[in-house]
Amino acid sequence: MAALMSVSSRSLTHPALAQPVQLITLDNGNGLTATLSTLGAGIWSVTQLDESGTAAELVLNYQDPAQWATNRYYFGVTIGRVANRIAAAAFKLDDKLVKLSANEGRNQLHGGPDGLGSRFWQYRVEQLADSVAVIFSCHSADGDQGYPGNVALEVCYRLNRDNELSIDYYASTDKLTPLSLTNHCYWNLAAKPGADVLGHTLWLNAGYTLQVDEQLVPDGNLLAVAGTAFDFQQAKTIGRDITQLANGYDHFFVLNHFLPDHFALNHADKQQPQTAAVLSDPASGRVMEILTTEAGIQFYSGNFLDGSLNGADGLPLTKFAGLCLETHDYPNAVNLPQFPSVLISPAQPYRQCTIYRFYTKRSG
């Protein structure tokens, strides 16, 4: 008889943290758990039972809880109001210049220096016959990090018995404003101390990537990936072509069903989640599929993990120790009219869904 699904919680306190962090664990009774955090409405842990019955940790975390106070690497958190980079931390809206808080040189990264990932969110839990969930909520005030409009946000993490962890994002506003949310979890399916992700195999349903400038900000041009180091249309190991790049992957891949000429121009018309990526670790056989309603995926290979901090296993977090596959809309779209709009309005709220599906592929 299958084990029952369950929801449990515990509180984490630390002098470096402004208040206790509530950690809520969803267990699907089928060997998969997800622990979510009220700090940043984030993913703290995802474990999958291996053949020996040991819970293998699939995401990166800090050894020292104090590191969550600054979270230099954005581990696991909900990113917003606008994910990725906005050039010059500014954009025009109704012919008026909106100036944002800069936090990466002159640009804004991941919503600013005090973005949504650094907030403490409220939460409630839900237990249904076929799934368990935690729903986080918070309010972002008019002028937050420079953005117009009061925005009410909900992020729902749901785990079902089919080993699917879904994230549903909802937001409403009282003014026209940009919004593009994502999760910044670092995955490593090897679940082995000291293992990097270069041996992982990745497939992306993307024929184009966005060209970026020297500050990694998209300039408005799409580049065909065929025949380049960015071509993951046939699954390949992440390490195969990475040496062709200056520092690794940190690029937005446009999913084939969301190219600009047939992208639904408003969030209400987004399609059902489409298969976007498949990540696998050949050594363990673990596989993670990603389905999303979003336009693309920022694939980041952990280039800036510099070994100065330790992970939960006590070892230094070094370059390529984990990777991010961040589903969201076109970055810097607020400054590039040829890109699909990321504006929401009182009449047009924000919705996004991304699903992570886990299984093990047996060798032989």
118 to each of 69, 81, 139, 317, how far by Cα in Å? 8, 12, 13, 21
CATH number at residue 282: 2.70.98.10
Q: Which of 110, 184, 251, 267 is catalytic?
A: 184
For residue 171 the two structure tokens come to 């937001």
**Structural domain boundaries, residue 319:** 6-360
Pairing state between β 151-160 and 164-173: antiparallel
Tell me whether residue 14 is one of the annotated catalytic residues: no
Q: Check: pTM over 0.75? Answer yes or no.
A: yes
What pLDDT does 19 receive? 96
Q: Is residue 353 part of a domain?
A: yes
Number of domains observed in the structure of the chain:
1
Q: Is residue 101 part of a domain?
A: yes
Residues of the chain with pLDDT under 70: 1-2, 260-270, 363-364
What pLDDT does 266 receive? 42
Q: Is residue 1 part of a domain?
A: no
Q: Is residue 270 part of a domain?
A: yes
Tell me whether residue 200 is one of the annotated catalytic residues: no
